[in-house]
Amino acid sequence: MKLGIRGKLFLTSLFLVLVVILSTGIYLASAMGEWLESRIASQLQTHATTGRSMVQAIPDKLTKNNVDPVADLLGRDTQSRITVIAKDGTVMGDSRLDGKGLLMVENHGMRPEVLLAHKKGLGISKRFSNTLRIFMLYIAIPYDHPGGGTGVVRAAMSVEEVSQIQSRMRWIIFLAGLISVIIAISMAALSAHLTTRTLRQVLKDAQKRAEKIGIKTVDRSDNDEIHGLIVSVGIIVEELEKTLGELAGERSRLEAVLEGMDDGVVALDQDFKVTLINRSAQSMLDISGKQRGRKLHEIIKAPHLDDLLNSALSRENRTSQCLECTWQKSAQQYRIMINLIPMRDQPGWILVFHDVTEIRRLESVRQDFVANVSHELRTPISVVQANSQTLLNGAIRDEKYAPVLIEAIERNAQRLTAIISDLLELSLLEVKQDPLNTEKINLLHVVEGSLDLVMEAFEDKKLKIQVSIPNNLHIQANLGALNKVLNNLLDNAVKYNSNEATIKIRAIESENFVKIEVEDNGSGISKEHQTRVFERFYRVDTGRSRKMGGTGLGLSLVKHLVEKMGGEVGLDSLKPNGCLFWFTIPRYY
């Protein structure tokens, strides 16, 4: 049978109460009996001693006639039985026997207390009195009468009283036991009720919480609440361990995802303290070390970004927001878009930082490109339109003016063709993902071929040329692309250098590449334009470039072509003037 906590508590307390009451009761009953008997014994001894003095004080020779009245007197005064027994056992006097009885009473010489008194001077015995038919306690002490005659004086008292007291004690103990059992039952019931109420509450609470997070516990109707609690706690602990394990796995997966993200992610609690930050966010915000637990404004070094975030985060209505700002990091400007997302179930925030520098740059390049293309095309088209209109309106018959107009149409048509073919080539290069086909090329031969094409223009401007390229230097390049690159650079050298400038063409060999430099000592390009001259339509001096027939696409084409051959391009400014364009091409082995 399964006992509930109530039953267990009741049985335990009942057992304890019974053990305590029984042991105390038994001990008390026997101690009380002994104490009473010892008191009666000492009283009897006093009575016997008094009896002895009175017997010894009888002036005449001792006879039944003078001894019995002494025994009667003393027995009446002390409420005990006083017996005077001569040495031979003859009862000389007895307070409970009259004269007739005294004659008939048997010899008391062999009574144990009498024998003991004669032998040791004091005789005690507790036994059933045949004379009085009750249990008695006897004390006997010897006397020695001066008139000759010895014997014992015996005092006796019923010990029925002791038995009565002991049986009364047993009743009291029984009653006390009964009352204690009732109290024990009530106490056990009360304490069990109080304990189980708390336990049931704890159990219910634990089960409720466990069920809330999807953990199924044991049946609540279980008899033993503690057992139920232990089983429930065991299940909860087991499930929690499982859940914690799953959560740890989830967390490490999440951390791996966060760490692998290009976007920066920062999680904040309600006090704007960082609870999570990934590597990208640390790199974007230019911070390192332990950031968790620190306030956002403590880790963000830029006051404007901090202000921006503060005002966004402290808005009354917690809705997702998107901010964009410029961010200076190690001498470079970044454009950062920040998404602020309020957490759904808690008061914190998630901040996602996207680096939109490149997107914004491309957007502005695209906008510039569209504006530039339309602008570049509009001018020659307008010339063509206007001139053909004028011709149609009659200027065609003007022998002097007509050729000028037609020549302008021809020139602008060529310009349109040049722009469109450059644009086409550029877009083809952009669309084509694969590198260009390359072959073994003697660099000096290609450079000389390109120089031939511009030789006339070089001579017109009296430009000096210095070429230092070894004859046997071979590179791995695409011939057509290499020609276009060199033509563009040499063409620019002619266009943007004044008369008698010097153009130097060099080849510098390294382990895997050959660096080809085209240096001039012309007007040069200032620093702010240097990074942009490779963009489409970017020109330092638009007017001058147009006048020179430039499309603004040459260097952009150069960059694309070189990169498609596996090299790089660059521009260094020279002091006091001039510039140095360079590009690298893989060596041929």
Binding-site ranges for ligand ADP (CB under 6 A) = 488, 492-493, 495-496, 520, 522-523, 525, 533, 538-541, 545, 550-556, 579
Residue 550: CB minimum distance to ligand ADP, A: 3
Beta-carbon count within 10 A of 351 CB:
21
Cα distance between residue 214 and residue 266, in whole Å: 30
Identify which of residues 296 and 533 has a Cβ nearer to ligand ADP in the complex: 533
Identify the residue whose tokens are 């240097």.
530
* Cβ proximity to ligand ADP, 265 vs 533, nearer residue: 533
Q: Smallest distance from the beta carbon of 529 to ligand ADP, in angstroms?
A: 7
CB 416, min distance to ligand ADP, A: 14
For the chain, the C-alpha Rg in angstroms (whole number) is: 65
At 407, the amino acid letter reads: E
CB of 417 vs ligand ADP, minimal distance in Å: 14
Two tokens, residue 464: 């000096």
Name the residue nearer to ligand ADP (CB basis): 306 or 517: 517
Can you tell me the distance from the alpha carbon of 538 to that of 556, in angstroms, rounded to the nearest whole number? 9
- Please, which residue, 326 or 379, has the CB nearer to ligand ADP? 379
Tracing tokens 């069990």 back to the chain, one arrives at: 192
Identify the sign of the CA torsion 472, 474, 479, 485.
negative
How far is C-alpha 554 from the geometric centre of its chain's CA atoms?
Answer: 60
- Rank residues 151 and 552 by Cβ distance to ligand ADP and give the closer one: 552
Residue type at 396? I
* Nearer to ligand ADP (CB atom), residue 207 or residue 488: 488
Alpha-carbon distance of 554 to 556, in angstroms, equals: 5
State CA 389 to chain mean position distance: 81
Q: How far is the CB of 350 from ligand ADP (least distance, A)?
A: 45
Shortest reach from residue 466's CB to ligand ADP, in Å:
15
Kindly tell me which of 6 and 559 has the beta carbon lying closer to ligand ADP: 559
Q: Which is nearer to ligand ADP, 157 or 557 (CB)?
A: 557
Q: Which two tokens stand for residue 76?
A: 């009446």
Say if CB 229 and CB 206 are below 8 A apart: yes
Instruction: Please name the amino acid found at residue 55.
Output: V
**Cα 293 to Cα 290: distance, rounded to the nearest angstrom:** 9
The SS3 of residue 453 is helix
Rounded least distance, CB 542 to ligand ADP, Å: 7
Nearer to ligand ADP, 228 or 550 (CB): 550
CB of 507 to ligand ADP, least distance (A): 18
Instruction: Say if residues 507 and 470 touch (Cβ distance below 8 Å).
Output: yes
Q: How far is the CB of 535 from ligand ADP (least distance, A)?
A: 8
Output the smallest distance, CB 579 to ligand ADP, in A.
5
Other beta carbons less than 10 A from residue 121's beta carbon: 11
- Which of 550/567 has CB closer to ligand ADP? 550
Of 553 and 565, nearer to ligand ADP (C-beta) is 553
Q: Which two tokens stand for residue 437?
A: 């086909």
Q: Would you say 277 or 494 has its CB closer to ligand ADP? A: 494
For ligand ADP, give the closer residue by CB, 44 or 579: 579
Report, in Å, the least distance between residue 553 CB and ligand ADP: 6
Q: Which residue, among 559, 483, 573, has the nearest Cα to 525 in the 3D structure? A: 573
Strand partners, 124: 139
Instruction: Tell me whether residue 146 or residue 543 sits nearer to ligand ADP (CB atom).
Output: 543
- Residue 542 to residue 396: CA distance in whole angstroms: 33
Closest listed residue to residue 515, CA positions, set 564, 441, 585 = 585
CA dist list (Å): 273 to 131, 240, 246, 292, 300: 106, 28, 26, 7, 12
Phi-psi region of 112 (alpha: psi -120 to 50; beta: other; left: phi over 0): alpha
In the chain, what's the furthest Cα-to-Cα distance?
205
DSSP code at position 291? -
Write down the least CB distance from residue 378 to ligand ADP, Å: 17
Cα separation, 283 vs 297, in Å, equals 16
Burial class of 256 by CB neighbour count within 10 A (0 to 12, 13 to 18, 19+): exposed
In angstroms, rounded to a whole number, what is the distance separating the alpha carbons of residues 78 and 259?
110
Residue 497 Cβ vs ligand ADP, minimum distance, rounded to whole Å: 7
* Residue 443 Cβ vs ligand ADP, minimum distance, rounded to whole Å: 20
